[in-house]
Amino acid sequence: MAFSEDFIYSFHMPAFFFVSGLFVLGSIRRRGASNYTLEKLKTILYPYLLFAVITAALGPLTRRFQVTYSPFHWKAFLLNVADGSVSWFLFTLFFCLLLALLTARLPNWLRFLLAVVAGISPVYGSYIIDRVLREFCFVAAGMWVGNHIFMLERLEKTKAALGLVLLGGFQVVTIYFYGYAGRWNYILMGLTGTAALFLLARLLEKHRVGDALGWLGRASLATFLLSAFAQGATRVVLSNVFHTNNLWLQLLLPTAFAAVLPAIVWYQQDQWRLGWLFHWPF
């Protein structure tokens, strides 16, 4: 279990930040600095704040599914919102994309080099500052690659398979012998793991499995925001309606529904008038 967790998280979050950086420069050029910032406020910071309120409001109902639960206090709530503790990913992504705006005029290689130096430097400041400096290198890498990512479509699948085996093998061996990716090798493991994911995507292109994963992937924001609620609701139904605590049912069904139900909400958001969950409605 520890190996699986270390393996997945060696590239899981870096891949999200890398993808977020791919089209940042194009977005800045099209929108301009002010509209770009406003768009990030509406689509990243707004859902962060909204779900902070929703999660706090539903706390008394969901506490039975939490490892630890603390009664609601306004001071603690506001401090958690202010330092990103409510949802570190969205909070970190927002500031990473603002940092991308501030460094947009730098050469790609220099931006990436500075991001790597900051990422491996000793921790200074708050937890969220550390997270931003730690993850921005992947956004910078995505900005450097940019539209060149489409060249992957011309890569032969045999070469993609070979690259996947080599990079995947490197990832497995490194995690097996050295364990969790720390500050000094986190960037390397994140980039090689992300590259392996893109090679896997090339192999699954125009395949039903690839189409299904793409369908889920395009709804990743909804999955991130709603999966905990879908998972908890499924466990309530299994326990209280079907009266079963079977390990595999409690593990597999909630996981499946946590992926599928939020995606359905995402694709039906206009028809169901739920778009306000994911972006500023005005």
Mean pLDDT on 172-180 = 86
pLDDT in tens, 81-90: 888 888 889 9
Distances (CA, A) of 89 to 13, 101, 132, 142, 229: 8, 18, 9, 17, 18
Rounded distance, CA 151 to CA 138, Å? Answer: 19
pLDDT in tens, 10-43: 898 999 999 999 999 999 999 999 999 999 999 9
Q: How high is the pLDDT of residue 268?
A: 97
Rounded distance, CA 105 to CA 155, Å? Answer: 31
146 close to 28: Cβ distance less than 8 angstroms: no
Q: What would the two tokens of residue 199 be?
A: 């090679």
pTM above 0.85, yes or no: yes
Specify the DSSP element, H or E, that contains 112. helix 108-120
Spatial CB neighbours of 78, under 8 Å, sequence gap ≥ 6: none
Rounded distance, CA 46 to CA 99, Å? Answer: 18
Q: How high is the pLDDT of residue 7?
A: 87
Q: Where are the domains of the chain?
A: 2-156, 206-282
Q: In 146-219, where does DSSP find H-type helix?
A: 157-178, 186-203, 208-217
Q: How high is the pLDDT of residue 121?
A: 85
Q: What would the two tokens of residue 271 be?
A: 């028809």
